[in-house]
């Protein structure tokens, strides 16, 4: 491998911290909002700026060698990638929540109910494990308004502070997974020299923060 390619989020919650981490690793690169690809001048690395949802597949398919993405996205896309390093930012939980006055109090109460989410695969796996039959309503954003509109009885969504749930008259009642940003790579390529060099640098940045 002559030049490593890393995929990071183009804009959104993980972009700034991903760029900061790479800069703290001593890597020099231009970070224009308009560019989709940037070359590092002092390390054989190219940075691809992508939608977070596409990052696991780009890594699995070898378009990028490594990537930084939320664990929630990795699990939802159901790709086979190697977890190289947990990065300690972008922390959140995927929770089940209902309107504050709902009669749904436990996971068992979801039997036969409708649940709105942008994470249908993670939810389906969870419900199967719990032996619950529920109607999964896939929506791509603003999941929190679904119960108020009569689309669903419950929601399954990302929560960090809980402020958005509260503002929409919802309360969480069950945590399904915790998530944070992860450095991923292709299985079997973990020992590649350039990847190991970058992991070493990332680990010393993370250690300096503790």
Q: Which is nearer to ligand PRT, 7 or 134 (CB)?
A: 7
72 forms part of the interface with ligand PRT (CB under 6 A)? yes
Looking at the chain, which runs of residues are DSSP E strands? 4-9, 37-39, 45-50, 66-70, 82-86, 92-99, 114-117, 135-138, 154-159, 170-179, 181-185
Nearer to ligand PRT, 165 or 202 (CB): 165
Measured between alpha carbons, how far is 149 from 133 in angstroms, rounded to an integer?
A: 22
Q: Site size for ligand PRT, by CB under 6 A?
A: 21
Work out how close the CB of 73 gets to Zn ion at its nearest, in angstroms, rounded to a whole number. 7
Taking CB under 6 A as the binding criterion, the range among 19-27, 47-55, 106-114, 186-194 that sits at the site for ligand PRT is 47-55
- Shortest Cβ distance from residue 74 to ligand PRT (Å)? 9
Question: Is residue 12 part of the contact set for ligand PRT (CB under 6 A)?
Answer: yes
Footprint on this chain of Zn ion (rule: CB under 5 A): 52-53
Range 115-119 contact pairs with CB under 8 angstroms and sequence separation of 24 or more: 115/152, 115/153, 115/154, 115/155, 115/156, 116/143, 116/146, 116/147, 116/151, 116/152, 116/154, 116/155, 116/156, 117/143, 117/155, 117/156, 117/157, 118/143, 118/157, 119/72, 119/76, 119/94, 119/156, 119/157
75 binds ligand PRT (CB under 6 A): no
Nearer to ligand PRT, 115 or 159 (CB): 159
Cβ neighbours of 29 (radius 10 Å):
18
Minimum distance from CB of 35 to ligand PRT (Å)? 16
Residue 153 found at the interface with ligand PRT (CB under 6 A)? no
User: Which of 75, 77, 121, 164 contacts ligand PRT by CB under 6 A?
Assistant: 164
- Contacts of ligand PRT in 84-103 (CB under 6 A): 90, 92
Q: Coil, helix or strand for 170?
A: strand
Residues that bind ligand PRT (CB under 6 A): 9, 12-14, 51-53, 70, 72-73, 90, 92, 157-164, 179
């Amino acid at each position: 491998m002559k030049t490593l390619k890393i995929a990071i989020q183009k804009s959104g919650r993980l972009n700034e911290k991903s760029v900061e981490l790479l800069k703290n690793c001593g890597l020099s690169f231009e970070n224009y909002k308009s560019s989709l690809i940037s070359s590092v001048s002092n390390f054989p690395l190219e940075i691809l700026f992508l939608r977070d949802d596409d990052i696991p597949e780009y890594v699995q398919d070898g378009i990028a060698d490594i990537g930084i993405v939320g664990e929630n996205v990795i699990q939802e896309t159901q790709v086979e990638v190697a977890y190289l390093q947990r990065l300690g930012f972008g922390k959140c939980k995927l929770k089940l929540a209902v309107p504050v006055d709902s009669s749904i109090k436990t996971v068992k109460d979801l039997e036969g109910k409708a649940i709105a989410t942008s994470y249908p695969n993670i939810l389906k796996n969870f419900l199967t494990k719990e032996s619950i039959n529920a109607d999964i309503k896939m929506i791509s954003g603003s999941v929190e308004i679904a119960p108020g509109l009569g689309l669903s009885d419950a929601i399954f969504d990302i929560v960090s502070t809980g402020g958005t749930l509260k503002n929409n008259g919802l309360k969480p009642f069950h945590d399904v997974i915790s998530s944070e940003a992860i450095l991923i790579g292709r299985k079997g390529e973990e020992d590649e020299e350039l990847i190991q060099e970058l992991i070493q640098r990332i680990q010393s940045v993370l250690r300096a923060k503790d």
